[in-house]
Structure 1
Amino acid sequence: MIYPESRLVGRIMVISTVLTFVSFAVAVTDPDRDARNELARWLDVLGENSLPTWWSTALLLTAAFACALAGAAARAGRVVGAGAWFTAAGLVGAFSLTELSGVHRRLGGIGRLVLGEGVLTRNWFAVAAVLVPVLVAVLVVLGARVGTPARGPLVAGGVLIMVSAVGGEFVAAVLGGRTGPATAPVLAAHLGELGENAGAALVVAAALRVLVLSGAGDVLRVRHRTTFGDDGDGVPVRLTGLWLGLGGVSAALALLSLGFVLADPAQPLLRDLRLFVDLLVEHNLPTWWSVALLATAALVHLATFLVARAAGAPEARFWLVTAGVLALLSLDDQSQLHERSEQLGRLFVEETGSFPFYWLIPGAVAGVAVAAAVVALAVRVRARARALLVGGIALMLATGLGLEVVQGLFMAAGNEGLGFAVGYHVEELGEDVGVILLIAAALATARVTGGRSLTLSYADRRAPLPDPVPARQGASGGS
C-alpha cells in the first residue's frame, strides 16, 4: 500500500539529497576547508554553522514534534502506545541535540569518568557501540507498543538514524578522517549525514501513519487512527503547564550557564561541562534549546495557518509568513547568518575602534523586516494575540539587537567581567521568552480542545465538529 505521507518523505529526501550533493561537490572541488569562502562553509554538511546541519537538526526536531503529537492523540483517544510515542519523541529530540552540539564527542570523557581509563573509554565510538544496541532494543519495544502500520517505519527510521550517525563517522575515521583530503572518508561522512535525514523522514512517516487529519468549517481535528467514539463538545486544553515548562527551562539554562561562568571551574570535566552550557559558546545545550524553540514556534504558526485557512480567515496567509520568518530565525540561530553579514555592515560605516558587532547594521534592517511581518499579522487578530505578538517581537528585537550593542561596547572597552556576563545571559533569556510569547500568540488564536481527539478552532468562530474522514482505506489496526 502507498501511504499519502510517502510524498512528504519523498520531498524531504529530495531536499536532503540536494544539500548533501552540493556539500560533497564543495568538498571535492575545494578540499581545503580553511581556504573556502563563507558561502562554501555555509553549504558544508560536515561543518558547523551551516545550512545542511540546520536542516538535519530541524528535521529531527520535526520528527520529535510529530511523535509527540502522535502520543498526545493516542492519550486523548485512550489508545495504547501513548507513552511509546512520547519516549520516541525524547530519543529523536536527543539526536537533534547531538546533531547541533556534537555532544556524542564528549562521551569518551564521560566514559572515563564513570569507568576509568580503558579500551571502552578511549573515544566516543566505544561508548556508542554499547549504547546503540541498547537503544535499538528500546526502539523494537516501542515499535511493538505503537502497533501497525507505524511499527516498521518507526523502528527502521530510528535504527537508520543511529547507525548512520555512528557508522558514518566511524567509517570516515577508519578511512582517514571525515575532513579529508581523501575523497573516500568524506563520501562516507556525507552518506552518514544523508542516512540520518532518511531516518528522520521515516520517523515522521511513522507518526503520520497513526494520525487522521480532518477539517470542515473552522476546525481541524487530529485523532489517532484507532480511536472510536464521539468527542462531544470537547474540553479546552489548559496550556499553563506548557508556558511554565518552556519558561522554566529557559530560565534554568540561563542560571546554569551564569553559575558556571562565574565559578569558572578548573577541573577538566567541569570545564567541558561549562562549554556545554555556556550561553556565549556556540553549539551547545542552550543554542539547541533556542533553535528548538524557534522551530517549534514555526510549526505552531504553520498549524495556525492551516486552521485559519480552513476557517476562511483573511489573515491566514500572514500566519504562513510568520511561520517562514521563525524558521529563518531558527536557521540564523544555528548557522550564525547574522554574524556572517559583518563584512556587509563594514561597507556602510567606517570601522571605529574595536567594536566587534558590525553585523548589527544589516541585522537592524532584517529586524525591521521581521517586525513588519509580525505587525502585519498583529493588526489583523484579536487583542490578546495582538499583545502577545507585539510583545514577543519587541522583546526579541530589544534583547537580540539592543543588548548586543551593549555587549559590543563592553568588548570594545575590554571589559568582559560581571556586567558583560549578566548582559548576555539576560539577552539570551529575553530572546527565548520573546519566542515563547509568539508561540502563545498562535495558541491564543487557535483554540485547542480535547476529547477523543485534538481539535483546533480558529479565534471565536464556531462550527459543528466534523466527523473525521480517514486519510486511507483498508489500513490494518493495532496499538
Structure 2
Amino acid sequence: MGNTRWTADGRTALERRAGVVFLALAAVGCLLVALSLVLLRITPWDVLRDPSSPLVQLLDVRAEGSLHTWFNVCVLSSGAVLHGCAGALAHRAGWEAWPWALTAAALALLSMDDLLAVHERLEPLGRALGAGQGGLHFAWVLPGLLLAVGLAATAVVAARKLPSSASRWLLVGVAALLAAAVGLESVGGLVLDSVGDGALYVLVSHAEELIETLAAAALLCAAVSAVRLGAGPGAGFEVGYAHPVRRAS
C-alpha cells in the first residue's frame, strides 16, 4: 500500500476484469429477456398466454416481482456494497471517500425502487399534473423527471472525483438507465396510445428492461474497475484502491 504509481498494465488488467464482469451480467440479462420474449410471445402453450399464470409472472420481464426484477435488485444491491467498499479503500489510500458514498447510496435507492416499484407510486401525482397520454401515458414519468435530474447530477458530481475508468462506467450506466427508464418508457407510452399492447410495444418494453439491466451492470463495474487485487505477503493477497496516482504522505 505504499506511495507508488499505479501502472498502466495494472489499469488495463482492472479494466479487462470489469469488462468480463459486465459481459457475464449482460449475458444473464439477455437470457432472461430472451426467455420472456420466446416463451411468452412465440410459444403456442396456453399456460404461457395467461397473464395471471405464476409461470408468466415469474418470467415476464415486465412483471413486478419477476425473476428479471430479482436479478436487477441483486446487481444494484451488490453494486451498492461494492461502491461502499471502494469508498473505504479510497479513504485508506488517502483519497476522498464521499463520491463513493454518494454513488453507493444512489445504487441502494435504485435497488429499493426496483424491488418496491416506488416510481410507479408517483402515478397519481403525475396524473394530477396533467400527464397520462402520449409520451406521458405512464404518468409517473413527469414527476420522475425530477428524480432523473437528481440522479444525473449525482453521477456528474461523483464522476469528477473518481478514477477515469470508474467515471466512464458510472456515467455510461446512468445515461443508459435514464435513456431506458425515461426515454423508452415514454416511447412505450406513445406506442400504447397509438397501436395498443401489440408486438411493437412488447419489443419496446423488453428493450427497456434489457437496457436497464445493462445499466445496472455498468454501475456495478464502476466499483470493480477501482478495486485492485494483487499478491500480498506470503500466500495472501492485497486489496487496494486503483487510482492512477497515489497521494504522497
Q: Which residue of 70, 74, 79 maps to 1:292? A: 74
Q: Which residue of 151, 156, 164 maps to 1:370? A: 151
Cα deviation for residue 269 of structure 1 reads 7.5
Q: Which residue of 224, 236, 244 maps to 1:443? A: 224
Cα deviation for residue 313 of structure 1 reads 1.0
Unaligned runs of 5+ in 1: 1-215, 219-235, 464-479
RMSD: 2.6
Q: Measure the CA separation in 2 of the matches of 1:262 and 1:248.
A: 20
Q: Which residue of 237, 240, 245 maps to 1:456? A: 240
Q: Using a 3 Å threshold, how does the CA distance of structure 1 residues 375 and 282 change in structure 2: closer, same or farther? A: same
Normalized against structure 1, the TM-score is what? 0.45
Deviations 1:368-397 (A, max 9, x none): 101111110112233322222211110110
Deviations 1:72-131 (A, max 9, x none): xxxxxxxxxxxxxxxxxxxxxxxxxxxxxxxxxxxxxxxxxxxxxxxxxxxxxxxxxxxx
Q: Does the CA contact (< 8 Å) of 2:121 and 2:140 recur in 1?
A: yes
Please tell me whether residue 262 in structure 1 is matched to residue 44 in structure 2. no
Q: Which residue of 422, 434, 443 maps to 2:203? A: 422
State the SS of the aligned residue for 1:242: helix
Q: Post-superposition, which runs of at least 4 consecutive aligned residues in structure 1 deviate over 6 A?
A: none
Q: Which residue of 146, 149, 160 maps to 1:379? A: 160
Query: 1:238-257 counterparts in 2 under 5 A?
Result: 239=17, 240-257=19-36
Q: Which has the higher contact order (CA 8 A, sep 6+)?
A: 2
Q: Measure the CA separation in 2 of the matches of 1:350 and 1:371.
A: 23
Q: Measure the CA separation in 2 of the matches of 1:374 and 1:390.
A: 6
Q: Using a 3 Å threshold, how does the CA distance of structure 1 residues 351 and 243 change in structure 2: closer, same or farther? A: closer
Q: Measure the CA separation in 2 of the matches of 1:304 and 1:342.
A: 36
For 2:176, the equivalent position in structure 1 comes to 395
Q: Measure the CA separation in 2 of the matches of 1:273 and 1:350.
A: 33
Q: Using a 3 Å threshold, how does the CA distance of structure 1 residues 453 and 261 change in structure 2: closer, same or farther? A: same
Number of residue pairs aligned between Structure 1 and Structure 2:
231
Q: Using a 3 Å threshold, how does the CA distance of structure 1 residues 272 and 378 change in structure 2: closer, same or farther? A: same
For 1:72, the equivalent position in structure 2 comes to none
Identity of aligned residues (%): 33
Q: Using a 3 Å threshold, how does the CA distance of structure 1 residues 310 and 217 change in structure 2: closer, same or farther? A: farther
Normalized against structure 2, the TM-score is what? 0.83
Q: Using a 3 Å threshold, how does the CA distance of structure 1 residues 383 and 405 change in structure 2: closer, same or farther? A: same
Rg: which structure is higher? 1
Q: Measure the CA separation in 1 of the matches of 2:215 and 2:43.
A: 29
Q: Measure the CA separation in 2 of the matches of 1:272 and 1:341.
A: 27
Please tell me whether residue 327 in structure 1 is matched to residue 108 in structure 2. yes
